[in-house]
Structure formats: C-alpha cells, structure tokens
Structure 1
Amino acid sequence: MPTLSQWQIFVRFLRFGLLAWGGPVAQIAMIRRELVDEERWISSSRFNRLLAVYQVLPGPEAHELCVHIGMLPGGRMGGFLAGLGFMLPGFLLMFALSWLYFTIDITQSALGPIFLGIQVAVIALIVRAVHRIGEHVLLDKWLWGIGIVSAFAAFLGASFWITLPAAGLVYAFALRRQHALAAVTLVAATVLAVLVGPESSTGLLESAAQGTALSNGPIAQDASLVALFFSGLKAGLLTFGGAYTVIPFLRDDAVGNGWMTDAQFLDGLALSGILPAPLIIFSTFVGYFGGGPLGAIAMTAGIFLPAFGFSLLFHERLESVVENKTLHSFLEGVSAGVVGLIAATTVELALVVIERLPSVLLGGVIFALALAVLYLWKSKVNVVLAVLGAGFLGWLSSGFLG
C-alpha cells in the first residue's frame, strides 16, 4: 500500500474520473488494472469480494469502490476525497452542459434535429441496458414473472413504493416455498395499489402528451432545494443492478412534478452518455431544471450520498450483512421488479420519441444502427459513438426530422 497525502489521493482518483469512459464495466476494469494488478493497493480476491458486496447494494459500483479503496491509505477523509475526485469531472461537465442547454434555443438551430436523433439513440441505450441487466437478474421463472407483473403494474400507474417491496417479499417467500404467503403478499399489494390509486405522473398517455414539445426552459422551476435533494436521495437508494435502474425513479419526480418534459429528460440521458462519468450524473441535469444551479448541486448531493455513506460508514460491516441469504433473495426480487419498471419506462419514452418523429421509418433506421453499434462493437466508446452518430444522422436528415 503506497503512502499518499490526502491531496495525492484526490488527484489519483481525479485522474480516474477524467478517464471514466464506457460505463461501469470499463470504469471497474480500469480501477482493477491500475490499483490491483499494477500497484497492489489491494489483493485481487479482496477486490472481488468488495465488488460483489457493492453490486448487491444500491449506488454506482465504480464510485463506491473508489471511496472504499481511497480509505485504505487515507482513512475516511481519503475515501471522501477519492469519491469526490472520481465524480467531479463528470459533475462539472454536466453542470456546464446544463447551463448551455438552457442558454441555446435548440428549436431554432441545427441542434433541434441533432437532439431528436440522439433521443432515438438513448432509447437504444436503455433497451440494451434492460437486456444486459435482465440477463443477470431474471434467472428463473419467478423472477421473470415478477419482472413482467412489475412492468404491467407500472403501465397501470402503481407506485413503485408498493411494487418493489412486494416484489422482494414475493421472491423471498417463493424461495422458501411459502407460496401461500407469496400469494397473500401479491393480493395485499394489489389491493393497496387500488386503494392508493394510479400515480398521475406515470400514466402512459399523459407522459406521451407531455413529451411532444421540444423546449429548453423548465415547465415549472419551483422545486425547493430540499425536495430536489430528497428526490436524488430516493433515487440513489434505489439504484440496484446498475445506474440505468435510476431512470424510472428520477423520471417519476422530474416529469411528474413538471420540472421538465420527457423529451428534455431524454436529452439529459443523452448528454450523460457522452461524458466520462457514472450515468447517474444526469441527475445534475434534472436538478438544474428543477431548481437552477443550486438545484443541480442539491440533487447531485442527494443521489451520491448513499454511494459515499455505505462505504464511509459501514465498510467494516458490509460483507457480513450481505451474507444474509434472506436479504439476498429479497434484493433479487426487488431487482427483478426494477427491471420491469425500466422496461415499462422504455416503452413510454419510446412512444414519446415516436410521437415527435415526422418520419418513423427514418427514426427506426437510426434506432437499429445505434442498437447494432451497442451490440456488435465491443468498445468502451461504443456508447459515445452511438449517441454522436445518431445526432449526426439527425442533422443529416433534418429535412425529414426537423
């Protein structure tokens, strides 16, 4: 283990943040190569155990690993500085892009069709993410069933506060062969969802209607900083199985509360996809819409707080807690429910984009090409190419899309 000052720890992980292209898999591989294989900060077996722990817990795994490993030479302050260094480049870039997005009227420039083409690519990104997450989560018929039912419940407007706990409990009971309790849980969740009623912010038709207009400014920039912070915190506590799982939760607040349209939400996802940062950095964009520059800071702080907190406060107990098999089965059920929510959100967002495309055929071509790049080109910059390429095709075909 090298002897480093707090400043050296910050600079070391700031470099990782500047090179954090290609999503969590590429980011984790970079950290492993340099800190495990080359510099021997930590053993390979220990790194594998830590990664397994953080994959079960909510939050971006690469960021949590940086916090944990930064604590080894520098204690809790070293862990905080490591996490801050890793996220800072992406935050500053997204903050600047959020300001630029507000400043430029994209409807009166070539950026309009470019962003529309990019939105098509974002749907392809989410489809690929659903497939990637699903193949690691939906491992048996119970999990498939939970995912399908959760997606159907989302279409009907059921609150995820009801759907996800029920998904976890049903699967935990099913694995213990307590099928009667699983059935009772499902019935109770259904009754509760009916009594509570559908969430107005997630209805399929309403969401499509909100996303038909392209606009730079917010719909209603009146969210309090406290509301934005807790919206981010809620999303940060529910990011099971990868950063894409945060999409339905942030969208529920952002679009449902009128901070932005679905089209603008997709633009934020697109911008985050081309930055060297964890995908959840698009929360900065959402917070900017809800409350301006301070709103961006508040939501970013909320969404990253669990990623810092789990590592800084509970690092010595995490492995023993996650060994609990009942907790494993509950979290696996929750993860299956989240896959269903993402799938439903993908369909809703796709309908928003289709509604805005004068040429559905051309949009379908851009979607297919983006999806082909994501599936066939195994590179850490394939996301960047898919997004930028779709934007170029949108601009090139502006006579059809504009």
Structure 2
Amino acid sequence: MTTNTASITIAPPTLSLPALFLKFLRFGALAFGGPVAQIAMLRQALVEDERWIDKGRFNRLLAVLQVLPGPEAHELCVHLGMIARGRIGGLLAGLGFMLPGLVLMLVAGWAYVTWVAGNLTLAGALLGVQVAVLAIILRAVVRIGHHIVENALLGVIAAASLVLTLLGVPFWILLAAGGLTYAVSHRPLVACAILAVALALATAIHLLSGSGDSLHAVQGIPVTTFALFVAGLKGGLLTFGGAYTAIPYVRSDTVGRGWIGDGAFLDGIALAGVLPAPLVIFVTFVGYVTGGVSGALAITAGMFLPAFAFSLVLFERLEAIVENPALHRLLEGIAAAVVGIIAATFVQLAYATGLRVTAPLGALAIFAVALAVVWRIKGAWVTPALVAGGAFAGWALFT
C-alpha cells in the first residue's frame, strides 16, 4: 500500500493566540545549549513533527536569517509565529521564546548584586569562571571565522579589523570599510579609494581624540535608561554572524564608560551560557548590574527590537533583499570585519582578566583545559560544566 504524500497537510494548526504564546513559552523554557540546539529543537517540533512548513522553506528561511543581524533562533520563532497567526502571532511567539531567559537573568542579576558582587570569598571562584569563559569566547571566534572567512581577502579584512580595533579605530569605520571593500573588490581602484578614505577618517579621529584607546575614551558618561537602551540597540543592529558578535559593542558602551567591570561583564556571559535563552540575554545582566530593573529592561528591549522589527516589518521582502549579489558581498565583508572586532575584544578581555590573576600558571591551566574541552566536545551540558569547573578550580587556586 502506498502513501499519498500529497495528502499530508503542510500548514500550522489552528491555534488561539494564548495557545501560540504558551507553545513558544515552552520552547523558551527548554532553550538550553545555544542557537544550534535551539534551532534543532524548533526544526524537530514544528517541521518534522507538526509540519508547520516544509523542510525546503525552513532551510531557505534559516539562510535568510543567518545574514541578518539578531539571534537566529529568536527571529525564527517570530517568523513561525507570523506564519501561524500573522504579525500579532509573531510578536507573541518572540515574546514567549525570550521571556523565560529574561526572567531568569533578572533573578540572576538581582542575586549577583545582592550577594555575589564584592564578596571576597567568591572572588577566586568568579575569576576561575571568567578564565573559562575566555576559552569559550575564543572557540566561538574560531568557529565564526571558519564559516565567514572563506577566502584570502576576507581573511585580510578580518586581520586588519583585529589590529585596527586594538589601535582604537571606531568599529563603524571598520564595518563600512570591510563591507564596501569586499563589495567592490572586482574594481581594485575603487577598493583602494575606499581604504584610503577609511584610513584618513580613522587618523583624523585618532588625532582629535588624543588617544588610541577608544574603549576608555568615553568614561565619565552617566548611566541612564536611554543610554542603556541605545547600547542594546547598537548590539542588536550589529550582531552579524551570531550572538557573540554583540559582545564588543555592548562592552564598549558599558565597560568602556566605566559602568561595569570586565569581570562582572564576563560573569554575565557565563550566566547567559547556562540559561535557556539566546546568548544575547547577557545584556539583561549587564543592564541590571549597571541600572537596576529599568536598565535591564531597557538594554534588553534595545537588543531584541531589531530582531522583532526585521521579521515583522520586512517579512515579505527578506528573501528578495538577500538575493541581491552586491548586498550579499557587502554583508560578507561586514561579517569578516566583525570577526576581527570579536577577536580584538577577546584580546582586551584576556588582558583585563590577566591583570587580576594572582596565579598565572593556574589561570593558564584553567584556560587550556577549558579550551580543549570546548574545542573537542559538543553538547548542551558543555558550557554549564565549564562554568562549574572553572568556579571550583578558581576557588582552589585563587582563594
């Protein structure tokens, strides 16, 4: 007996708006293990089991989202919610998916400020966690670079971005120069002109600022709810290539302004890695530590606003936009520059962490073991295990 595959319905079931919200709230509560695990969970539930859309459409949708800024898994939820119940459904699906992580991170931020920050008995354990997180970030840089840096020119853009970021060149110059250079790389004279303009602009900014350390050039700016919203919005608009790409921009606008230290910043990244949420939820922790509940909500709203906006506003046009070859090359060049900026941020974080280490050999051992584990082993349990192991090793070595 043959099965008539044409009779299989490929469409979302009829769901009320509350039922849709609760469905994606459940997905959010189970969203451990980072974007790969989260996307796999959504694929299994809504494509394989419930057949909301066919596999080909899902793959095309995922390809579109991967070249846009924002956490892919969250944007995927917004799109699937729209397929089921229109724009209201997309809004509810996105809110449901992010809500568990947001609530848990608010609780974590409160606990950190109330009991952990300034507790000398926990200082060694926290330092161990921060060293382990550095290994996780380095592995992410390599993994992102492997997928983005596909030829020599993209490698040159990434390397130049790394060096120039460490020299204090503003990120927006590097993103623009990287994207435009790669987009017109078939016209060498135009590419050279773009690089010359970028170099002249960077030199002028360097001379006017009087300092090459752009990270600390804006210290003294007061913490405001609006400033935290803008910091999150910048990160949300510039997360090309995955959630780790938000780290340098948020760090520049918070650590760079003296609102939070590098140690607490890394603690937030560590917590985000073990909670059921997109990794960018670390901004909620940063916002809470620097500005309380209002600051946490403001920076989180800024971070997730582009993810909602791109999906809700441009839903019908996204595939047509990314089919443009010139735009595709522009985005590839920007993404390569982002790889260099993340790598530079890793160097800056490692340097700041190293200044607080009292036992360098012990720190190197924690870093080496964590790097070996994250390099060779995959699974949702890896990051929580490294955080726990780093805390124990740090308590033993640095306390």
TM-score range, shorter chain: over 0.9
Alpha-carbon deviations, 1:255-285, whole Å to 9, x = none?
A: 1112111112111111111111111001111
Rate the CA distance shift 1:168–1:303 in 2: closer, same or farther, 3 A: same
Amino acid at match of 2:75: E
Find 1:187's aligned residue among 164, 189, 196: 196
Write the distance in 1 (CA, Å) between the matches of 2:152 and 2:72: 27
Q: SS where residue 355 of structure 2 aligns?
A: helix
Write the distance in 1 (CA, Å) between the matches of 2:221 and 2:171: 25
Write the distance in 1 (CA, Å) between the matches of 2:396 and 2:50: 47
Residues 1:366 and 2:366 aligned together:
yes
Q: SS where residue 73 of structure 1 aligns?
A: helix
Rate the CA distance shift 1:148–1:94 in 2: closer, same or farther, 3 A: same
Number of the residue aligned with 1:332:
332
- Segments of 5+ residues of structure 1 without an aligned counterpart are 208-218
Write the distance in 2 (CA, Å) between the matches of 1:168 and 1:302: 24
Number of the residue aligned with 1:65:
76
Residues 1:274 and 2:274 aligned together:
yes
Write the distance in 2 (CA, Å) between the matches of 1:200 and 1:345: 21
Residues 1:21 and 2:32 aligned together:
yes
Rate the CA distance shift 1:360–1:108 in 2: closer, same or farther, 3 A: same
Amino acid at match of 1:128: R
Of stretches 378-387 and 181-190 in structure 1, the one that deviates more from structure 2 is 378-387
Number of the residue aligned with 2:206:
197
Write the distance in 2 (CA, Å) between the matches of 1:206 and 1:249: 13
Write the distance in 2 (CA, Å) between the matches of 1:202 and 1:25: 37
User: How many pairs align?
Assistant: 387
The residue correspondences of 1:4-153 to structure 2 (distance < 5 A) are: 4-153=15-164
Runs of 4+ more than 4 Å apart? 198-202, 204-207
Number of the residue aligned with 2:165:
154
Tell me the percent identity: 53
Write the distance in 2 (CA, Å) between the matches of 1:202 and 1:99: 36
Alpha-carbon deviations, 1:51-109, whole Å to 9, x = none?
A: 00000000000000000001122111111111001101111111111111111154434
Number of the residue aligned with 2:5:
none
Rate the CA distance shift 1:106–1:202 in 2: closer, same or farther, 3 A: farther
Amino acid at match of 2:376: L
Amino acid at match of 1:54: L
1:202 offset after TM fit, Å?
8.0
Alpha-carbon deviations, 1:2-44, whole Å to 9, x = none?
A: 1111111111111111111111001000000110001101110
Rate the CA distance shift 1:272–1:72 in 2: closer, same or farther, 3 A: same
Number of the residue aligned with 1:319:
319
Write the distance in 2 (CA, Å) between the matches of 1:302 and 1:319: 25
1:371 offset after TM fit, Å?
1.2
Q: Is the 8 A contact 2:216 2:257 kept in 1?
A: no
Amino acid at match of 2:151: D
1:160 offset after TM fit, Å?
0.7
Number of the residue aligned with 1:212:
none
1:221 offset after TM fit, Å?
9.3
What TM-score comes out, normalization by structure 2 length? 0.93
Number of the residue aligned with 2:380:
380
Rate the CA distance shift 1:205–1:301 in 2: closer, same or farther, 3 A: closer
1:200 offset after TM fit, Å?
8.6
What TM-score comes out, normalization by structure 1 length? 0.93
